[in-house]
Amino acid sequence: MRSQRFSILVWTIAFDVTLGFQTCRPAPIIDLGYARYQGFTNTTTDVSSFLGIRYADPPTGVFRWQAPMSPSKVTGVQQAIDPPPQCYQGAIGISPTNPPHDPGSLVRREVSPTTSEDCLFLNVYFPGSVVPRKPLPVVVYIHGGGYVGNSASRQNGEDLLRLSRNSVVAVLIQYRLGLFGFLAGSKVKQGGVLNAGLLDQDFALRWVQQHIRKFGGDPSKVTVWGTSAGAGSVLQHVVARDGRTTPPLFHSVITSSTYLPSQYAFNDSIPELLYSKAVNQTNCATSTDTLTCLRAADVDVLEAANVQINSDGFFGTFVTVPVVDGEFITQRVTAALKQGKVNGKALLAVTNTHEGNLFVDENTTTTVAQYATELFPGLGENDGLTAAQAYASVGTPLDQIQAIMGEALIICPTYFLLDAFSARAFKVRGCRESLLELHRPCTLRAYLRFHPEIMAKTSAIISLRTSQYSAFEYTNLASATLGEACPPSITANL
């Protein structure tokens, strides 16, 4: 009691300095059993934030490429007022060929001081200064960044509350990225876990089921939403465990620009190649147990390999991505969707125009057919020519290449997802007037029309048939200029 009062006093003084006494005050203390956290209420917005709540123990040392584990007990009240450290960040591919065989040029590496391998934290936001008495629907947001970058705190959870008119509790989660989260290969399967980053997300969703009531959230009304690789992650959770996750971890899903790169079997030649590169670049090649050696590697050395291996990837792609692991993800996502094996009861899918443009080298001199076979090394020369033919009517060769990138990795996976949810699916096509805007302006707008309560009403009023791929077309959004056909020659090989 004494110490708690003391900590509040210290905290208030700290607040005075760091946040401004006028706009913030201490939020209630939430007891999670293993730890107690005190966030802050922004008195301007009347939103309470809890930043940097630990949901798993540090996945470091021998726990690298192991499943996340429940946090150890901490006594005393922890102040949840600072953004947590971000996970180690990788890079986007810049190689003109795929798979890359030559070591690329050395990439400059910048590690922010707030980066840590101990990064399994989440941020929680609820409306008001006290825990909502009537449980609210919950939105869990998974950030994008190609499975190699970004963090929970680069999005402001307060935006979600504002857009829902303060009718949801928001949870923004972090997960292991790059080599740390997605190193694959048969050695990892034998001695650890594959798709560690996805297992982190799954663990965070379980944390929500267990704890969100304490923040005023209703665990039976969880919507999981992601952007880009975050939406790709949502897709993985939709098909996880053959679509039979019990008890369910979410009710509805929202995907904004679903990023679905080629998802190889964990022991395919490409993941095995990436594993060998990681071993080589961490001086583990002569070790008799390479995985143990990787676990003992200095984090800076591992991070250097993470950046190098990812930047060696084909231009505009990310290489440390989910694989078919045989347990959590039992088959290719596209195959699972075709069989309708999905977790979740309803879907809102958002795509933008020009999804692929950011990920194509604007100065490329490759032919369209070559591009298709570089993007998908599994395609034969004839498949490349068929793809080129299918896109021949779409503008310049660069337009065609951008359309292939956007449709194959983002637009078509979205349609497969819509098909899998059939009558319970809704689609929004947003705008991307400026490439710099990326995904966000449109998808936030879309969110206005969607959280579980609104969705229930919407579905009653508008019976959209996804077989026709009708879209909500908001009057203030520009319409797409490129076609959205999915040539079977491309999609069959994803």
Binding site for ligand NAG (CB under 6 A): 19, 23-24, 42, 44-45, 265, 267, 273, 276-277, 280, 285, 326, 361-363
What are the start-end ranges of the H helices in 240-332? Answer: 269-281, 290-296, 299-311
Distance CA 229, CA 255 (A): 10
Query: What's the min distance (Å) between Cβ of 163 and ligand NAG?
Result: 13
Asked if residue 56 lies in contact with residue 203, where contact means CB atoms within 8 angstroms, the answer is yes
Query: Which residue, 154 or 465, has its beta carbon nearer to ligand NAG?
Result: 154
Instruction: Supply the minimum distance, in Å, between the C-beta of residue 365 and ligand NAG.
Output: 11
Q: Which is nearer to ligand NAG, 269 or 339 (CB)?
A: 269
CB of 453: closest distance to ligand NAG in angstroms?
24
Q: What are phi and psi of 179, to 5 degrees?
A: -60, -35
Identity (one letter) of the amino acid at 210? Q
- 3 state SS of 223: strand
Q: 282 or 352, CB closer to ligand NAG?
A: 282
User: In whole angstroms, how close is the CB of 144 to ligand NAG at the nearest point?
Assistant: 20
Task: Provide φ and ψ at 55, rounded to 5°.
Answer: -110, -5
Which string of DSSP letters, residue by residue, matches 181-200? HH--SHHHHHHS-SSHHHHH
In whole angstroms, how close is the CB of 321 to ligand NAG at the nearest point?
18
Query: 376: part of which helix (H) or strand (E)?
Result: none
Residue 326 or 395 having the CB closest to ligand NAG: 326
Tokens coding 190: 């034998």
Q: State in angstroms the smallest separation of the CB of 265 from ligand NAG.
A: 6
Distance, in Å, from the CA atom of 73 to the CA atom of 160, rounded to the nearest integer, reads: 31
Closest approach, Cβ 241 to ligand NAG, in A, equals: 17
- Give the chain's end-to-end CA distance (angstroms, integer): 59
DSSP 8-state assignment for residue 228 = T
Please say which residue, 67 or 358, places its beta carbon nearer to ligand NAG: 358
Residue with tokens 């400059």: 108
Residue 6 vs 21, nearer CB to ligand NAG: 21
Tokens of 206: 């379980």
How many CA atoms within 13 Å lie on the side-chain side of 468? 6
Report, in Å, the least distance between residue 331 CB and ligand NAG.
12
How far is the C-alpha of 139 from the C-alpha of 223, rounded, in Å?
A: 5
Residue 24 vs 348, nearer CB to ligand NAG:
24
Cα dihedral sign for 8, 9, 14, 20? positive
Q: Which is nearer to ligand NAG, 305 or 385 (CB)?
A: 305
Yes or no: say if 127 and 215 are a contact pair by the CB < 8 Å rule. Answer: no
Shortest distance in whole angstroms from residue 186 CB to ligand NAG:
7
- Return the beta strands (E) in 207-273 as ranges: 217-227, 252-256
Nearer to ligand NAG, 209 or 280 (CB): 280
